[in-house]
């Protein structure tokens, strides 16, 4: 393939990737109810957003769920990542990866049946429990990749110098893999706050999150308020991902 043709098609694909997102952001500043013609610049849709109680409530729920889910899944995921690295357990990799490999809709519906079977009222708690379940694997992968980049002789040296296994872990291994753990936590936070499919099935009627709120607005009545919340959500995700990738470059790229 000639160089020019290659460069031209590359630019076209980048345009294809970014044009839709640029359009969403641009219309969030458009002084018109329709996502059609450019009328003029306005902050109006952001003001509408700030006085929309349902949206603010959903944002609060999303933050609460993402905080809880990322905290819990970081703890469980770090343990799983360490176990994957340290012990040769045959079924653990399958157990950790399976929830990431099968279609999300299947995870969503099976959790729905499960929560109903155990008589748990669908709401914030069921969403949190579900988010933890799919975040554990992602955190485990990030932590594990950080561990395999670590010099194994360091905790061994600590043991030779008389540290107990727990001391060697806490004083040597843990500080070394801390950036990986933080990156994993940020990743879990992002995945949780962005999740739509699994939340859709496990939310019931009681609780709404930002993606659920965006979904119902898209389905019922589209206004540029959706663009405004989308723009803010994109900025938040972008920020988190940039921070996470600084801390653990390979893991974010590998996803």
Partner 1 sequence: MAKNFGKWLISGPPVLYLVVFFVIPTCIMVLASFRYAGEYGGLAPIFLHDASGAHLNLTLESYREFFSDFIYSWLFIKTLIYALVTTFFCLLTAYPLALLIARSASKYRDLLVLLVILPFWSNFLIRIYAWMILLGPQSAFSAALNGFLGIFGVGPVRLLFTPFAVVLCLIYVQLPFMVLPLYANLEKHDPALLDAAQDLGANGWQRFWRVTFPLSLPGIYAGIALVFIPVLGIFAVPDILGGTRGIMIGNLIKQEFLEARDWPFGSALSIMLTIGAMIIVGGAALVARRRGRGDV
Residue ranges with strand state E in the chain:
none
Nearest to 128 by CA among 79, 88, 70: 70
Helix, strand, coil abundance in the chain, percent, nearest 5: 80, 0, 20
Contact pick of 165, 223, 243, 246 for partner 1 (by CB under 8 A)? 165
Of 18-26, 48-56, 147-155, 176-184, the segment contacting partner 1 by CB under 8 A is 18-26
Binder to partner 1 among 130, 192, 208, 209 (CB under 8 A)?
130
Q: Which is nearer to partner 1, 7 or 50 (CB)?
A: 7
Q: Is 180 in the site for partner 1 (CB under 8 A)?
A: no
Give dist(CA 196, CA 235) in Å, integer.
Answer: 18
Q: Which stretch binds partner 1 (CB under 8 A): 43-51, 63-71, 177-185, 213-221?
A: 213-221
Report, in Å, the least distance between residue 151 CB and partner 1.
20
Measured distance CA(240)–CA(187) in Å, rounded: 8
Contact 132, 184 (CB under 8 A): no
The smaller minimum CB distance to partner 1, of residues 9 and 121, is found at 9
**Candidate list 39, 171, 238, 243; residue touching partner 1; CB under 8 A:** 238
Q: Which of 29, 45, 82, 138 binds partner 1 (CB under 8 A)?
A: 82
Q: Is 196 in the site for partner 1 (CB under 8 A)?
A: yes
Of residues 50 and 235, the one with the C-beta less far from partner 1: 235
How far apart CA 30 and CA 44 sit, in angstroms, is 9
- In angstroms, what CA-CA distances link 33 with 39, 56, 128? 10, 21, 35
SS3 155: helix
Tell me whether residue 6 or residue 50 sits nearer to partner 1 (CB atom). Answer: 6
Is residue 253 a contact point for partner 1 (CB under 8 A)?
yes
The C-alpha angle 165, 167, 169, rounded to 5 degrees, equals: 70
85-114 positions binding partner 1, by CB under 8 A: 86-87, 89, 92, 95-96, 98-99, 101-107, 109-114
**DSSP 8-state assignment for residue 30:** B
């Amino acid at each position: 393939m000639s160089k020019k043709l290659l460069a031209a098609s590359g630019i076209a694909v980048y345009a294809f990737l970014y044009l839709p997102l640029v359009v969403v952001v641009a219309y969030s500043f458009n002084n018109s109810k329709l996502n059609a013609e450019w009328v003029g610049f306005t902050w109006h849709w952001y003001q509408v957003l700030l006085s929309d109680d349902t949206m603010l409530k959903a944002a609060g729920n999303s933050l609460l769920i993402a905080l809880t889910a990322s905290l819990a899944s970081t703890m469980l995921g770090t343990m799983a990542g360490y176990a994957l690295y340290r012990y040769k357990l045959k079924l653990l990799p399958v157990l950790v990866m399976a929830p990431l490999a099968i279609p999300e809709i299947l995870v969503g519906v099976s959790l729905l049946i499960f929560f109903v079977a155990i008589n748990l009222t669908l709401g914030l708690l069921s969403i949190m429990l579900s988010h933890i379940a799919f975040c554990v694997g992602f955190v485990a992968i990030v932590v594990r990749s950080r561990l395999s980049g670590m010099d194994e002789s360091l905790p061994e040296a600590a043991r030779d110098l008389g540290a107990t296994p727990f001391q060697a872990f806490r004083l040597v291994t843990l500080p070394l893999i801390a950036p990986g753990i933080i990156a994993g936590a940020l990743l879990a936070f992002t995945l949780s706050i962005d999740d739509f499919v699994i939340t859709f099935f496990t939310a019931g009627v009681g609780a709404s999150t930002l993606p659920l709120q965006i979904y119902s607005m898209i389905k019922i009545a589209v206004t540029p308020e959706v663009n405004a919340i989308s723009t803010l959500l994109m900025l938040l995700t972008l920020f988190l991902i940039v921070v996470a990738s600084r801390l653990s470059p390979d893991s974010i790229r590998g996803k």
